[in-house]
Chain A
Amino acid sequence: MPRRGLIVVGSVLLVLCGLDCQRAEIAQPQKGIAMPEKTIEQVQQECTDAWMAIPGVIGTAIGQREGKPCILVLTASNTVQVRRKIPSTVEGYPVVVQYTGEIRAR
């Protein structure tokens, strides 16, 4: 019985993680379940693949805004559309979309 419960909870958490990265659905943590706070690097890592699949996004990084750590989403194009698709906060961390242009080996 406990194992099945664990599987259910685990699946719900996985789904929640996936949903967090998209602006369309901002999932709320389940009440009564203790969730460890994620580091900013963990959040960046979890969201990077999904974000870099958006046309125009060329990378993500950890930066700073007003002295506080933030996740940067770097674009080479489509910056306005990218901003519409990405939430401004994920798991408490601010997310900032920043245009850099194409990056090439120099």
Chain B
Amino acid sequence: MPRRRLFQVLLATVLSICLLALSGVVSAQGNSDKAFERVKEVQERHTAKLMAQKGVVGTAVGLTENDRPAVLVLLEEAGVAAVPAELDGVPVRPLVTGKIEALGSNRTSLSKGKARPKIDPTAWFSRPVPIGVSTGNATSYSAGTIGCRVSKGGKVYALSNNHVYALENQATAGQNGDKVVQPGLYDTGGTYNSANDIGTLADFVRIEFSTAASNTVDCAIAASSTSLLGNSTPADGYGTPTSETTTAAVGMAVQKYGRTTSLTRGTITAINATINIGYSSGTARFVGQIIVQSRSPFIKAGDSGSLLVTDPGKAPVGLLFAGDSSGKYAIANPIDAVLTALGVSVDGQ
């Protein structure tokens, strides 16, 4: 063969081999868009069947450990479902992701990064109702908060303020006492439904509406039962308070769960406060009170009756009942004064 001809043939052969090799390499690696398209088809064709298996939380298109396009099968736990090694010629790779869940609403300032469900404390709650949610006297268009469950003599009671349950000394307590409801009438459009009863006003401490008075507590209890009243906050609160109480001290970190502002945190900045409090019946001077301060509103109208507990200990320290209009200053009765006055103890953990 002439030299030139040989050269041409060789060149053509080399070129062909190169072309073949290139196309072969591409399809062997399979990383072209076409290859991923193919994997996607396989994924879509088999997803329903794969996800019907318990423990499979999803499927995806990804890469094997050797960087080859593959169908990924996402699992709740390792080995929880049978995953084939390949489907229709495409490699399948199991990947343990754990359960995938929608995160809670944007309340990171309160939840410190943990996902919590958003709950409305003014709503009706299935019985037994949690503490920290809307409640009120059934004869009044108002609403406050259930502080906690308390007990005496084998019976349980809902603890809140006099001005919430006893309507500033005006309500009837005892055997034929006023009913208390959950939610309070303010949160049910003003209509009373006896199906919402959770108790009967049993006792309260009278408030003396005078600036010369030395009131110590604004509290009341309604006789209830463990089938109507629980002893923990809703899931986005602090949970169950301890039965053992603690004494307020300046600088103590505290928290509360209430009908209006749910879970809030603050600091005790003052104790032994003598302070004039405004009520609809007039001004009442209180002594020995706890002052809580917070940068964002600690309590607002409707949070009255909330239990003040330590953060993070959950030990009861006070019963909240008053505040300034911004909510940054909150006033609480020392909890021991409340419990002693009513002859009850906290029914917590």
Contacts and interface: CB of A to CB of B under 8 A. Distances in A.
Contact of B275 (A41, A44, A64, A103): A103
Give the contact-size bracket for chain A: 20 to 34
B274 A61 contact: yes
A62 B272 contact: yes
Interface in A20-53: 41, 44, 48, 52
A61 B270 contact: yes
Interface centre among B270, B275, B330, B331 (most CB of A within 10 A): B270
B271 A105 contact: no
Given A61-B291, A100-B329, A101-B326, A106 B321 contact: yes
B344 to A, nearest CB: 21
Interface in B276-328: 276-279, 289, 291, 299-304, 320-326
Contacts of A86: none
Contacts of A44: 272, 274
B251 interface: yes
B270 A72 contact: yes
Give the contact-size bracket for chain B: 35 or more
Contacts of B274: 44, 48, 52, 59-61
Contacts of A60: 273-275
A12 B276 CA distance: 32
B161 interface: yes
B202 to A, nearest CB: 21
A97 interface: no
Contacts of B161: 105
A90 interface: no
A82 interface: no
Given A58-B276, A62-B271, A103 B250 contact: no
Contacts of A95: none
A68 B61 CA distance: 64
A61 B287 CA distance: 9
B269 interface: yes
A106 B271 contact: no
A103 B278 contact: yes
B31 to A, nearest CB: 65
A10 interface: no
B203 interface: no
B163 interface: yes
A69 B251 CA distance: 11
B324 A100 contact: yes
B218 interface: yes
A89 to B, nearest CB: 18
Contacts of B211: 52
Given A105-B304, A106-B300, A106-B304, A61 B271 contact: yes
Interface centre among B304, B324, B326 (most CB of A within 10 A): B324
Contacts of B329: 100-101, 103
B284 to A, nearest CB: 8
B304 A58 contact: no
A104 interface: yes
B317 to A, nearest CB: 16
A48 to B, nearest CB: 5
B121 to A, nearest CB: 15
A105 B277 contact: yes
Given A64-B251, A102-B325, A105-B277, 6 more contacts: A48-B274, A61-B270, A61-B291, A63-B270, A101-B324, A104-B277
Among all A-B residue pairs, the 5 with the closest Cβ atoms:
A59-B275, A61-B273, A61-B270, A63-B270, A104-B278
Interface of B: 161, 163, 211, 218, 250-251, 269-279, 289, 291, 299-304, 320-326, 329-331
Interface of A: 41, 44, 48, 52, 58-64, 69, 72, 74, 100-106
22 contacts: A44-B272, A44-B274, A48-B274, A52-B211, A62-B250, A63-B250, A63-B269, A72-B273, A74-B273, A101-B326, A103-B277, A103-B322, A103-B323, A103-B329, A103-B331, A104-B325, A105-B163, A105-B279, A105-B322, A106-B320, A106-B322, A106-B323
